[in-house]
Amino acid sequence: MADTVWIERFHGLRTLPEPVKAQLVTESTVMKVPAGTAVFGPGAVPDNLLFLLNGRVRVQQTSESGRDIVLYRVEAGESCVLTTACLLAHEPYSAEGVTETEVTAVAIPRGAFDRLMASSKEFREFVLTAYARRITDLFRVIDDVAFGRIDVRLAGRLLSLASESDELATTHQQLATELGTAREVISRVLNDFQKRGFIAQSRGKITLLDRPKIAQLAEST
Amino acid sequence: MADTVWIERFHGLRTLPEPVKAQLVTESTVMKVPAGTAVFGPGAVPDNLLFLLNGRVRVQQTSESGRDIVLYRVEAGESCVLTTACLLAHEPYSAEGVTETEVTAVAIPRGAFDRLMASSKEFREFVLTAYARRITDLFRVIDDVAFGRIDVRLAGRLLSLASESDELATTHQQLATELGTAREVISRVLNDFQKRGFIAQSRGKITLLDRPKIAQLAEST
DNA sequence: TCCGTTCAGTGATATTGTCACCCAAGCCAC
DNA sequence: GTGGCTTGGGTGACAATATCACTGAACGGA
């Protein structure tokens, strides 16, 4: 019941006063969601603020023309604050969140969220800091999309997607969605990478062969 | 002294309880800034939350390569919440805010801001709603930059920039910054618009001749 | 095995971005 | 005024990226 242990996994929550922690625990519920589920978006409107304990959520947007772009990811230890903000602004909201792995999360109902905002300076700071981080993420996306070269962006994305292993199970179309471009473009750049010995490819799989070279490309202006 | 009249100009603040309004007024200061001033950005770090009474602030970002893109504008009756969020997240923050007109604003110090967040549910909602609106603005920018055609985007931007008069005092370079593209591209599209009779041009000035046609182009997918 | 679906490759073409210039308009000192 | 200087804008050549219209290969069921 009084399992406050998950709170300790969140940097900004650790410093909460004990009574606030207790309040947080009693008012929230831990939930488990399988991979590939839409946790919010058109058609799935949560009334909760989510704190991710395990797993990862990908937030992406679909344009009118049907094309997608990945906006950012919420990792374990982070919260998905933008969701709540967008819920407040009763606007048509085109982004959606999809679990990429199985996800364990703590759901805090809107009412409890508001009480916490009122009662705890630390919680307010935690929330606003989380906002700030997301916003700088979005600024970065805008900068990349507007001014970045595709090969550079793809190199960087390959590295961050393949942080665990050198094997990457993904399709060209998925990578196109990552960067908000077309599949053909990804195919051509990947073929170029292959010719240069950066990667090996097979259907639905990419193997990083030369991380240093890829990293060097990703760093170039 | 107890001039609470400015509060009435803000939708979300009107409903504040009287004592909160009084608190807001005593703790804040009204300030006036001439046009063309950088109100925040690298080198100008405010410790205040700003509520715009009059005028307009343009928020733009400069990429590493030195190119600019306009992110959004803060108009009278809105607040510049992202600024405070980004201040909290002690990260290198590349965006800057520039007054486009003379600006009258109410500055609320961080401490007062925090007390208001603690004491008033209405204020919290106001702030979070403001965040949400900005974020949807940014989503829109990402969508446009990633998937929009520049003639369509330029047509839309011309209309919104020329909301008062059909005369628009701006350079091709400034329009390029609006959309995050290059001057040459703007020049070519504008020449095309001119040939089609949409606009007339002279040095540093654009005149809208056929708003309906421009609007039609701006609406096209 | 056949069939349907998903994934990837490719040439042609359109759009947009980059580079390297040029010229013209306005400004200011003299 | 005249001559330079700065800023705004035009243009051609080319590179990068996007779009379109296909093709075939790989995989998974029936």
For B179-201, the pLDDT digits (tens) are 999 999 999 999 999 999 999 99
Encoding tokens for residue A185? 């473009």
Q: Do A128 and A172 belong together in one domain? A: no
**Sign for the pseudo-dihedral over CA of B60, B133, B131, A85:** negative
Higher pLDDT, B12 or A90: B12
Confidence (pLDDT) at B85: 73
Is residue B87's pLDDT more than 60? yes
Report the SS3 class of residue A105.
strand
pLDDT band of residue B88 (cuts 50, 70, 90) is low
- Of the spans A3-17, A124-138, B81-95, B137-151, which averages the highest pLDDT? B137-151
Higher pLDDT, B1 or B177: B177
How far is the C-alpha of A146 from the C-alpha of A153, rounded, in Å? 11
A143–B contact, CB cutoff 8 A = yes
Q: How far is CA B214 from the centre of its chain?
A: 23
Query: Domain total for chain A?
Result: 2
In chain B, residues with a C-beta closer than 8 Å to the C-beta of A139 are: 61, 71, 94-95, 138
What CATH number corresponds to the domain at position A159?
1.10.10.10
Confidence (pLDDT) at A105: 93
- Of the spans A42-56, A123-137, A145-159, which averages the highest pLDDT? A145-159
Confidence (pLDDT) at A11: 78
Confidence (pLDDT) at A92: 64
Is residue A157's pLDDT more than 90? yes
Strand order in the sheet with A68-75: A38-40, A95-99, A56-62, A68-75
Indicate the residue of A86, A128, A139 with minimum beta-carbon distance to B88: A128
* CA dist A43 → A1, A19, A60, A156 (Å): 32, 36, 15, 32
Of A115, A145, A175, the position where a domain reaches its end is A145
Is residue B154's pLDDT more than 70? yes
Report the SS3 class of residue B151.
helix
How far is the C-alpha of A146 from the C-alpha of B26, rounded, in Å? 43
| Cβ within 8 Å, pair B132-A95 | no
Q: Do A10 and A113 belong together in one domain? A: yes
Q: Do A134 and A169 belong together in one domain? A: no
For B191, half-sphere exposure in the C-beta direction (CA atoms, 13 angstrom radius) is 6
pLDDT band of residue A89 (cuts 50, 70, 90) is low
Task: Sort B64 into a burial class: Cβ within 10 Å, 0-12 / 13-18 / 19+.
Answer: exposed
Is residue A221's pLDDT more than 80? no
Which letter, b or e, does each residue of B97-115 get, where b requires 16 or more Cβ atoms within 10 Å of its Cβ?
A: bbbeeebbbbbbeeebbbb
How far is the C-alpha of B188 from the C-alpha of B210, rounded, in Å? 18
Q: Do A109 and A179 belong together in one domain? A: no
User: What's the mean per-residue pLDDT of chain B?
Assistant: 90
Q: What is the pTM (predicted TM-score) of this model?
A: 0.93
Of A99, A128, A145, the position where a domain reaches its end is A145
Q: Do A167 and A138 belong together in one domain? A: no
| Strand C contact nucleotides, protein CB < 7 Å | 6-12, 15-20, 25-26
State mean pLDDT over B140-163. 97
pLDDT band of residue A88 (cuts 50, 70, 90) is low
Report the SS3 class of residue B135.
helix
How far is the C-alpha of A82 from the C-alpha of B128, rounded, in Å? 10
> What is the percent of chain A where pLDDT is above 90?
57
Indicate the residue of A87, A91, A146 with minimum beta-carbon distance to B145: A146
pLDDT band of residue B61 (cuts 50, 70, 90) is very high
Is residue A1's pLDDT more than 60? no
Q: Do A52 and A109 belong together in one domain? A: yes
Q: Angle CA(A111)–CA(A112)–CA(A118) in degrees, nearest 5?
A: 95
Q: Do B115 and B12 belong together in one domain? A: yes
pLDDT band of residue A8 (cuts 50, 70, 90) is confident
Is residue A44's pLDDT more than 80? no
Among A143, A137, A138, A83, smallest CA distance to A107 is for A83
Which residues does residue B73 pair with via DSSP β-bridges, in sequence order? B58
What CATH number corresponds to the domain at position B110?
2.60.120.10
The parent domain of residue B45 ranges over 4-145
pLDDT band of residue B174 (cuts 50, 70, 90) is very high
A84–B contact, CB cutoff 8 A = yes
Encoding tokens for residue B86? 């980004």
Percent of residues in chain B assigned helix, strand, coil, to nearest 5: 50, 25, 25
Confidence (pLDDT) at B90: 61
Q: Do B111 and B21 belong together in one domain? A: yes
**DSSP annotation string for B81-111:** HHHHHHHHTTS---EEEEESS-EEEEEEEHH
Q: How many CB atoms lie within 10 A of CB A44?
A: 11
pLDDT band of residue A87 (cuts 50, 70, 90) is low
State mean pLDDT over B40-56. 83
Q: Do A58 and A119 belong together in one domain? A: yes
How far is the C-alpha of A19 from the C-alpha of B59, rounded, in Å? 41
Confidence (pLDDT) at B92: 64
Is residue B27's pLDDT more than 70? yes
Confidence (pLDDT) at B91: 64
Q: Do B124 and B136 belong together in one domain? A: yes
Q: Do A126 and A32 belong together in one domain? A: yes
Report the SS3 class of residue A58.
strand
How far is the C-alpha of A81 from the C-alpha of A51, rounded, in Å? 9
- From the CA of B184 to the C1' of C22: give the distance in Å: 14
φ and ψ of B5, to 5 deg: -65, -30
How far is the C-alpha of A62 from the C-alpha of B30, rounded, in Å? 42
| Cβ within 8 Å, pair A63-B114 | no
Higher pLDDT, A5 or B68: B68
Q: Say whether the CB atom of A184 is under 7 angstroms from strand D.
A: yes
Of A128, A145, A162, the position where a domain reaches its end is A145
Q: Do B28 and B133 belong together in one domain? A: yes
